[in-house]
Amino acid sequence: MTDTVQNRLKVIYVTGVGRSGSTILDILLGNHPEVESVGELINVNRSGWLKNEYCACHQRALDCPFWQAVLSNWQVRTGGAQVQEYMDLQTQFEFRLYKPSQILKEARKSPDSYARFLQLTGELFRAISEVSGKSIIVDSSKSRTRGFLLSQIDALDVRYVHLIRDTRDIIKSLRKGHEANPEAGVQHALRALPGWRTSMSWVLTNLQAEHLIRHYGSAHHCQVRYEDMLEHPAGVLRSIGELAGIDTAGIIHAAENETPLQVGHTVAGNRLRMKDTVAFSRRKPSVPKLRAIDNLSFSVFAYWLAQRYGYPLIRR
Q: How far apart are CA 303 and CA 257, in angstroms?
A: 34
Helix (H, G, I), strand (E, B) or coil at 281: coil
Residue 313 lies in a domain: no
Q: How far apart are CA 305 and CA 12, in angstroms?
A: 25
- What's the domain range around 112? 7-308
Question: What value, to the nearest 5°, has the Cα angle with vertex 311 and ends 210 and 163?
Answer: 35
Number of domains within the chain? 1
Question: What pTM does this model have?
Answer: 0.92
Residue 127 lies in a domain: yes
- Higher pLDDT: 273 or 68? It is 68
pLDDT confidence band for 189 (50 / 70 / 90): very low
Q: 207 φ, ψ to 5°?
A: -65, -40
CB 140 within 8 A of CB 26: yes
What percent of the chain is modeled with pLDDT above 70? 90
For the chain, strand residue ranges (E) read 9-16, 35-37, 136-142, 156-164, 221-225, 260-262, 277-279
Residue 242 lies in a domain: yes
Q: At what angle do helices 100-109 and 144-151 cross, to 10 degrees?
A: 60
What is the average per-residue pLDDT within 194-210? 97
Query: Smallest Cα–Cα separation from 2: which of 125, 113, 118, 154?
Result: 154
Residue 2 lies in a domain: no
Q: Decide if pLDDT at 250 tops 90.
A: yes
Helix (H, G, I), strand (E, B) or coil at 237: helix
CA dihedral defined by 102, 97, 91, 111, rounded to 10 degrees? -20
Residue 1 lies in a domain: no
- Higher pLDDT: 189 or 274? It is 274
CA atoms within 13 A on the CB side of 120: 25
On average, the pLDDT of the chain sits at 90
Q: What is the CATH number of the domain that holds 278?
A: 3.40.50.300
Residue 315 lies in a domain: no
Count of residues in the chain: 316
Q: Bridge partners of 162?
A: 15, 223
Helix (H, G, I), strand (E, B) or coil at 50: helix
Tell me, what's the pLDDT at 193? 86
- At 310, the amino acid letter reads G
Q: How far apart are CA 112 and CA 315, in angstroms?
A: 53
Q: Bridge partners of 186?
A: 181
CB 142 within 8 A of CB 16: yes
What is the average per-residue pLDDT within 238-267? 93
Q: Decide if pLDDT at 277 tops 80.
A: no
Tell me, what's the pLDDT at 187? 56
CB-based contacts of 228: which residues, under 8 Å, 6+ apart?
235, 236
Residue 316 lies in a domain: no
Residue 252 lies in a domain: yes
Question: Which range is least confidently modeled, 30-34, 169-173, 220-224?
Answer: 169-173
